[in-house]
Amino acid sequence: MKRFGYIRISDKTQNIDRQVETMKKESINERDIFIDKQSGKNYDRPQYQLLKQLARENDEIVFDSITRMGRSMNETLKEYEWFVENGIQLKFIKEPMINTSNEEDDIIKQAIQKVILTVLAAFAEKERTDTKIRQAEGIQAAKAKGKHLGRPKATITPEFLDAYNRWVAKEITAVEAIKQSNVSKTTFYRLAKKIENRGEI
C-alpha cells in the first residue's frame, strides 16, 4: 500500500503551506504530494489526472477536505465512485465520515455515506457558485461607482516628462530615464509615443 497526498488551490496567489504541512503530519513523503493550482469546477487538472494513473488498488489518497477534491457535485460523485470501484482508498481529514476502507461495509452504512457525500459535494458547489456571484456583484457595484478596475492607468507625470526630455536630449540613457520616471519599460515607451504624437515636449 502506498499513500499519496493531493492538494488543490484555486489560483497561484493562494498559499499551499498549510495543506503541505497537513500532508506531512500524515507521514506522506513530499515526492508523493500532488499539487494543482486550478479551480475545482472540473477534474481536468494535470496533477490530479497523473495521480489517478499512478494510484493502484489498496493505495490511499489523502485530501484535506472534499472541497480540495473538487467543487462540482456530479463530477465529485463520479470521481469518488471511480476510486471505490478501483479499490483505491480515500481519506478526507476534515470529513472522516466519508472516508473509504478495505472493509466490506453493510448496505445501510454505504447508503448513509453516499447521502453525506452528496450533501457535502452540493455545499462545495454552492459555495463556489455563491463566490462567483459575489465577485460579479462586487465588480458591478464598483463600476456603478465609477471605480477603475484593474491596473491604475499610467499618466504623464512631471517626473516622467523630465526624464523623457533628458532622454530625448541624450543627457541620459533609456534605462536611466525609465528608472527615473518610475514606470515599466513598456509604459515608458507607450507614454513617449503618446507625447510624440501630440507634439508636447
Distant-in-sequence, close-in-space partners of 195: CB < 8 Å, separation ≥ 6 = 156, 161, 164, 201
Residue 109, pLDDT above cutoff 80: no
Residue 7, pLDDT above cutoff 90: yes
For the chain, residues classed under CATH 3.40.50.1390 are 3-126
Residue 141, pLDDT above cutoff 90: no
This prediction's pTM? 0.63
Range of weakest confidence among 32-41, 105-114, 143-152, 154-163: 143-152
Residue 200, pLDDT above cutoff 60: no
Average pLDDT over residues 114-118: 89
Distance from C-alpha of 125 to C-alpha of 119, rounded to nearest angstrom: 10
Range of weakest confidence among 21-35, 42-56, 92-106, 151-165: 151-165
Distant-in-sequence, close-in-space partners of 6: CB < 8 Å, separation ≥ 6 = 33, 34, 35, 36, 47, 48, 51, 61, 62, 63, 68, 69
CATH architecture under which domain 3-126 falls: 3-Layer(aba) Sandwich (3.40)
Distance from C-alpha of 154 to C-alpha of 85, rounded to nearest angstrom: 57
